[in-house]
Amino acid sequence: MTHPITTLLVANRGEIARRIFRTAEAMGLSTVAVYSDADAGAPFANEADIALHIGPAEATRSYLDIDRIITAARTSGADAIHPGYGFLSENTDLAAACERANLRFIGPPAEAIAAMGSKSAAKALMAEASVPLVPGYHGDDQDLSVFEEEAKRIGFPLLIKASAGGGGKGMRVVRDASELRSQVEAAQREARSSFGDPRLLLERYLETPRHVEVQVLFDQHGKGLYLFDRDCSVQRRHQKIIEEAPAPGIPEDVRQAMGEAAMRCGEAIGYVGAGTVEFLYEPESHEFFFMEMNTRLQVEHPVTEMVTGLDLVEWQIRIANGDALPWAQQDLACTGHAMEARIYAEDPDNDFLPQTGVLHTLREPVDTDFVRVDSGVSTGLAITPWYDPMLAKVIARGKNREEARLNLIHALNRYHVDGVVLNTEYVSRVLQQDAFARGELTTRFVEVHREALASPLFSPWARSHLSLMGWLDNVGALTVTDDRDVWNNLKSFRLSGTSGQPFELDLEGNRLHGHYRIENGHDSRGCVLATFNDEETLVRWSRMDDGTLDVRLSGRRVRLDTVSRGDELSVFADAATWHVRVNHPEVVEGTAAAETELMAPMHGRVTGVSCQPGDAVKAGQALLTMEAMKMEHTLKAGFDGTVEAIHCQTGDSVEAAQVLVTLEKSEE
């Protein structure tokens, strides 16, 4: 019997590396991280017991370099390698290299990986194992005339797929025979470029299928179990956005048949470890068809963990150690419902364009019994263009699907980043779509609901009012600890004949002006009367336990938080984020052009005095600067005259309406 694993090297990065380390450490194993130049300061590299540099940022010269990975394992004394997902996770060469180096590979045998590496060969195997297949052609003869004959048999529309592909590469939908030649040639070029293999397969194109997958576990003793199913239908560009377990709305007999088909799939290739069998499911006919098998841990594995109570990484390691699965299939139960949202550094409103930048601020939900965050990032981390833009996953569970959905929405309301655009608002829009709430899922969900999903969570009107509230909170205006504080008296302060304090708001290129008055404010709750374009709105607020604001705006309840950087304010309203600049307009001529007393327009600090008693001054001449609300304001003379007296000095804190300079008008 081989000795148990003692030191585990994770040949991956980001959130999956941290997630594997978490389980490994709980099992008492030592952990080894490998990192590239781009990840030298990443959290996963800092959290392992040993961290080894393996090369430059290019993945081909670091995370995809098998020789460097094996060398790092030998150098660190690791006796096992976990590949995570992506990179080398389904690479037969790594599995074989581990075997040659006497290292345990946390995954299936190389032969099982190879059996599923070619879509055409895999489908042939599945046909022999009586696993349902989408009608199609998976043969070796790649002549165009063969494709044309097979297309007639299959019927249109049909789908062209790269045999060695994934991620939508080499995939084409053909709706008419006249398009077939050009689409085949284009798919072959893309398949050759992306995978070094131009071979294609044809399948019937299912117009509105769902993507449903089954999680399986096989030990080294020939025993296998399926851990129920997941729905991963909501995708953009063939990449998943939201996953959930169990898949909703599937009849129990179909669900069982799908699980049993997944078991036949694993048995047919002598599978060992954790794997996922993916199916296309037709809701109307309740038919399901084998799509592919992922011979690794899936990104969405946490939703299965939440509904089964099992740690899949732990069982990957136990199986690699030779442990037998201790349950019968009937012993396993699926309890409640779980949903996962992938957090990407991308701009959904700009065709999901990947984003880079620095995470100047990062606030993630706190793990609870109902929420889990698998994160690969930390405050100050630079998001580079070198790797996949997924930064983290937020997972929520509930007693049923609706409770899990609401818990995930609330969790996303607590995921805030300043410095990089994320997809959190877009995911929240999906979760709040009526069709999603009803479970009307399809792999074309994003396409079908494109127009509705393009609508932001907050209108420009709501954004302007929430920006004002966020700014008032950021500068401390809503926190009152002393009844003598000027903020308690703002409701009676008047400037230029208008009730309340004036402000200027620059929101997404639009400059808005208005007034506000704080009403009945104290430490935990209050309200603000905001005026935009002569329209008054009463905005109520209360302070939550974590210090954020619970804002009530026209009957809508919003969780509001902010962070300032320079003169810009980042506003976090539920799952939405935007940037704004807010300021009190500069006072050009004091309180009024004809007045001899220049008063502070608001509470603040004097930063400079540029005149002395007895100085002759001209109209418009700057006399004093002060800082208020994190902005600088200049007080200027409203007429030609003489400085009679100065009532402050640099550094003084002054209150609103306090006289700062007295002028005497010229006799002329």
* Interval 493-508: pLDDT, tens: 333 334 578 888 889 8
pLDDT range class, residue 478, cuts 50, 70, 90: confident
Range of weakest confidence among 26-30, 348-352, 517-521, 533-537: 517-521
Dihedral angle sign, alpha carbons of residues 64, 65, 68, 69: positive
**Terminal alpha carbon distance of the chain:** 107
Both tokens of 579, joined, read 């940037």
pLDDT range class, residue 14, cuts 50, 70, 90: very high
What pLDDT does 121 receive? 84
627 or 37, which is more confident? 37
For residue 647, pLDDT beyond 80: yes
238 or 89, which is more confident? 89
Q: List pLDDT tens digits, range 145-155.
A: 999 999 999 98
Name the pTM for this structure: 0.82
Mean pLDDT on 487-498 = 41
Range of weakest confidence among 200-209, 390-399, 442-451, 567-576: 200-209
Q: Which region holds residue 183: left if phi is over 0, alpha if psi is between -120 and 50, else beta? A: alpha
DSSP per position, 79-112? -EEE--SSTTTT-HHHHHHHHHTT-EESS--HHH
Mean pLDDT on 246-258 = 97
Q: Three-class SS of residue 608?
A: strand
- Pick the closest to residue 563 from 367, 394, 379 (CA basis): 379
590 or 509, which is more confident? 509
Domain 210-448: state its class: alpha beta
Query: If you count DSSP H runs as helices and E runs as strands, how many of each does the chain have, helices first?
Result: 17, 41
For residue 50, pLDDT beyond 90: yes
**640: number of Cβ within 10 Å:** 15
**159: number of Cβ within 10 Å:** 18
Mean pLDDT on 641-652 = 94
pLDDT range class, residue 489, cuts 50, 70, 90: very low
The one-letter amino acid code at 136 reads G
d(C-alpha 450, C-alpha 444), whole Å: 10
Both tokens of 632, joined, read 């600088």
Encode burial over 537-558: b for 16+ CB neighbours within 10 A, e otherwise: bebbbebeeeebbebebeeeeb
Mean pLDDT on 156-170 = 82
Mean pLDDT on 101-113 = 96
d(C-alpha 634, C-alpha 624), whole Å: 6
d(C-alpha 74, C-alpha 595), whole Å: 82
For residue 588, pLDDT beyond 60: no
d(C-alpha 259, C-alpha 34), whole Å: 36
Report percent pLDDT > 90 for the chain: 76
pLDDT range class, residue 591, cuts 50, 70, 90: very low
- List helix spans (H) across 334-457: 401-412, 424-432, 434-437, 445-448, 450-453
What pLDDT does 630 receive? 57
For residue 339, pLDDT beyond 90: yes
Mean pLDDT on 77-81 = 97
What pLDDT does 476 receive? 85
Range of weakest confidence among 20-29, 281-290, 343-352, 620-629: 620-629
Show which residues are catalytic: 296
pLDDT range class, residue 527, cuts 50, 70, 90: very high
Q: Which fold has domain 135-204?
A: Dna Ligase; domain 1 (3.30.1490)
For residue 410, pLDDT beyond 90: yes
For the domain spanning 597-665, the CATH number is 2.40.50.100
What pLDDT does 117 receive? 87
Contact between 220 and 315 under an 8 Å Cβ cutoff? The reply is no
Distances (CA, A) of 91 to 66, 95, 117, 219, 341: 10, 7, 9, 20, 27
CATH architecture of 7-106: 3-Layer(aba) Sandwich (3.40)
Q: List pLDDT tens digits, range 168-179.
A: 677 899 999 999
Distances (CA, A) of 259 to 218, 283, 335, 380: 13, 17, 17, 44
Q: Which fold has domain 460-583?
A: Glycoprotein, Type 4 Pilin (3.30.700)
Both tokens of 336, joined, read 């409640």
What pLDDT does 499 receive? 56
Average pLDDT over the chain, rounded to whole? 91
pLDDT range class, residue 658, cuts 50, 70, 90: confident
What pLDDT does 171 receive? 87
What pLDDT does 195 receive? 82
For residue 118, pLDDT beyond 70: yes
What pLDDT does 592 receive? 42
- Domain residue spans in the chain? 7-106, 135-204, 210-448, 460-583, 597-665
What pLDDT does 227 receive? 98
